[in-house]
Amino acid sequence: MGSLKIQNIRKSFGHVDVLKGIDLEVKDGEFVIFVGPSGCGKSTLLRIIAGLEEATSGEILIDGKKVNNTPPAKRGIAMVFQTYALYPHLSVRDNMGLGLKQAGKPAEEIKERTKIASAMLSLDDYLERRPAELSGGQRQRVAIGRAIVREPQLFLFDEPLSNLDAALRVNTRLEIARLHRQLKATMIYVTHDQVEAMTLADKIVVMNKGRIEQVGSPMELYNSPQTLFVAGFIGSPQ
Ligand code: ADP
Ligand code: MG
């Protein structure tokens, strides 16, 4: 479970057409990466999938079911942003478990899920710390942990590593790849970083000015870019 179908999604803010008809299918368990210049509509599309923004027209289907009118908390989706937005006064444990607590889950279950997620992310020894006592990479792992404890079928990542330094980016990227194998969940991931895109993706979606330019595996895009824009963006030798 965790397949996604995007059908002719359009979004305008006032007179500005930000998404101009997006069609895409994501299979259960796929790792799909969105790349494209700043302002091309990547975050808006993720927010529409998550239900944080309403499309002007078009449909979003999760596991074949139309979710346009389903509230974000009921879509089985977890979103990880570039800014971690942790609560400074709460411990790592409580930051990770807060969403479950608000959803009314029993304390024992929250404890168990937090334990599993923190083990996956090597945060076991940090559960009683506050965010200020963690490194940037650890804080971002807490934000990922907060998503994992909800056991979503579908993860949305919006440039999750762009605030980290180069070494931490590599580590956290490898960790996300491992999580993808382990959880077998569907992941949709926005990045500016070609290396991230080429190494993580089953499928790369290249966006430009509110449209999809090309969809393909990293090698397909590299070897046969269909437009100069894609060639330039992927760094193909032509
Ligand atoms: P990306 O994530 O690819 O950089 P965004 O989806 O954030 O692009 O933004 C796409 C365009 O939509 C930008 O021109 C941005 O200014 C505009 N935009 C995004 N959100 C809003 C909003 N709430 N109101 C008005 N314009 C917006
Ligand atoms: Mg963005």
Any ligand 1 atom below 6 A from CB of 42:
yes
Any ligand 1 atom below 6 A from CB of 87:
no
ipTM: 0.98
Distance 207 CA to ligand 1 centre (A): 13
Residue nearest to atom 26 of ligand 1 (CA): 13
Report pLDDT digits (tens) over 82-92. 877 899 999 99
Question: Residue 237's pLDDT is what?
Answer: 67
The rounded distance, in Å, linking the Cα atoms of 209 and 11 is 12
pLDDT band at 148 (very low <50, low <70, confident <90, very high): very high
Report pLDDT digits (tens) over 157-170. 999 988 888 888 88
Distance 108 CA to ligand 2 centre (A): 37
Closest atom of ligand 1 to CA, residue 44: 6
Order of strands, sheet of 31-35, starting from the edge strand that comes earlier in the sequence? 77-80, 154-158, 186-190, 31-35, 203-208, 211-216
- Closest residue by Cα to residue 78 from 152, 136, 180: 152
Residue nearest to atom 11 of ligand 1 (CA): 39
Question: Residue 77's pLDDT is what?
Answer: 94
Distance 68 CA to ligand 1 centre (A): 20
Report pLDDT digits (tens) over 1-52. 899 999 999 999 999 999 999 999 999 999 999 999 999 999 999 999 999 9
In a mutational test of the pocket of ligand 1, which residue from 44, 79, 188 has the highest number of ligand atoms less than 8 Å from its CB?
A: 44
Distance 82 CA to ligand 1 centre (A): 15
Query: Model's pTM, two decimal places?
Result: 0.93
Question: Residue 145's pLDDT is what?
Answer: 94
Q: What average pLDDT does the segment 62-79 reach?
A: 92
The rounded distance, in Å, linking the Cα atoms of 12 and 17 is 4
Q: What average pLDDT does the segment 99-119 reach?
A: 94
CB-count exposure of residue 7 (10 Å: 0-12, 13-18, 19+):
middle
Any ligand 1 atom below 6 A from CB of 191:
no
CA distances from residue 118 to 35, 54, 82 in whole angstroms, order as listed: 29, 33, 20
Taking residue 197's Cβ as centre, other Cβ atoms within 10 Å add up to: 22
